[in-house]
Amino acid sequence: MTVNVTVTGAAGQIGYALLFRIASGQLLGADTPVSLRLLEIPQAVKAAEGTAMELDDCAFPLLEDIEITDDAKKAFDGANIALLVGARPRTKGMERGDLLAANGGIFKPQGEAINAGAADDVRVLVVGNPANTNALIAQQHAPDVPAERFTAMTRLDHNRAVAQLSKKLGVPVSAIRRLAIWGNHSATQYPDLFHAEVNGENAAAAVNDEAWLRDTFIPTVAKRGAAIIEARGASSAASAAGAAIDHVSTWVHGTAEGDWTSAAVVSDGSYGVPEGLISSFPVVARDGRYEIVQGLEIDDFSRERIDASVAELVEERDAVRKLGLI
């Protein structure tokens, strides 16, 4: 059956890297036809039409149709998968509160439109920053959709952490399992090697270098987004699109036996993360659902870092509450 995939911010850089991969079958598999609904602001609809022309020109066998609109209600009508990429970037002189308010103006109506018209099985991934809190805003305005269907992307951080560890140890990325990103998709995030495995052995033990872990690994992963902006003059696009594909594909098809991944999901209070926050955890995907991995021991080093990132999420939640956005 055809799956309706809605992508917001379709004319942006991530949109350009993402849409062709969705249409080629990399999101849902080679047997699943897709119908694309592209949401853009009025000024960018023409550019989205240009991307749609290129999608047509690829003659993808799985791509059934493309609809382009600046109306959120139309874009989310019948959506099975919703990729919320479009967001208001921080510009010069903008305070944190202004950024949250501007994004509230985007994610509140989008949450309402998802609530009103999306398919019963809708799954939502928020990529647009600040991703966790934008996801929270959308989720709070979709009371009829199970909260677990709203997620935010930390898979890029996860992939970055895997790549850094692979380089450090000189092992292929396929040798690494059970790495986890905790907290916010921001510089406070905590990439956790203490439960990770390399060829079945504990990764922190294999590294055996606490200074590298503390002073190189964690800040490199947490500040990678800023380093890409500094080097490229634009924020990550292809890697972000790749992570979005990974996030949804894992959600739908499941994690490998014995492995887990990272995703920001609605907290059920696990690991002391306040219930309702959308925070990154180690998760498994099973039967089409993301579930938080339970029962991990958290030592003082990890506890301090998880708490710091979660405190930032609490601050963001309180700020959007104060603005009346949730």
Ligand X SMILES: NC(=O)c1ccc[n+]([C@@H]2O[C@H](COP(=O)([O-])OP(=O)(O)OC[C@H]3O[C@@H](n4cnc5c(N)ncnc54)[C@H](O)[C@@H]3O)[C@@H](O)[C@H]2O)c1
Ligand Y SMILES: O=C(O)C[C@H](O)C(=O)O
| Residues that are catalytic | 185
The answer to the question of whether 106 is labelled as a binding residue is: no
Query: Which of 183, 114, 193, 194 lies closest to 147 in space, CA to CA?
Result: 114
Beta-sheet pairing, 180-182 with 190-192: antiparallel
Decide which of ligand Y, ligand X, none touches 202; Cβ closer than 5 to 8 Å per partner kind: none
Which residue's CB is nearer to ligand X, number 106 or number 114?
106
Residue 313 near residue 280, CB atoms below 8 Å: no
Q: Considering CB distances under 5 to 8 angstroms, the limit depending on partner class, which of ligand Y, ligand X, none binds residue 228? A: ligand Y
Stretch that binds ligand Y, among 25-33, 100-108, 233-241, 300-308 (CB under 6 A): 233-241
Give the Å distances, CA to CA, from 151 to 39, 94, 112, 208, 229. Answer: 19, 26, 16, 34, 24
Residue type, 20: F
Q: Is 305 annotated as a binding residue?
A: no
How many other C-beta atoms can be found within 10 angstroms of the C-beta atom of residue 57? Answer: 8
Which span (80-88, 111-119, 214-222, 273-281) binds ligand X, by CB under 6 A? 80-88
Choices 9-17, 35-43, 102-110, 232-240 (CB under 6 A): range interacting with ligand Y: 232-240
9, 104, 183, 191: which one contacts ligand X (CB under 6 A)?
9
DSSP state of 121: T
Given strand 63-69, what is the order of strands in its sheet? Answer: 63-69, 34-39, 3-8, 81-84, 123-126, 150-152, 261-266, 278-286, 289-292
Minimum CB distance to ligand Y, residue 308 (Å):
18
- Closest separation in Å from C-beta 191 to ligand Y: 12
- Residue 133 CB, nearest approach to ligand X (Å): 12
| Nearer residue to ligand X within complex by CB, 62 or 309 | 309
Is 4 flagged in the annotation as binding?
A: no
Task: Say if residue 276 carries a ligand binding annotation.
Answer: no
Q: Are 280 and 189 in contact (CB under 8 A)?
A: yes
Single-letter residue type at 3? V
For ligand Y, the binding residues (CB under 6 A) are 129, 156, 225, 228, 235-236, 240
For ligand X, the binding residues (CB under 6 A) are 8-9, 11-15, 39-41, 44, 85-87, 89, 106, 127-129, 131, 153, 156, 185, 235-237, 240
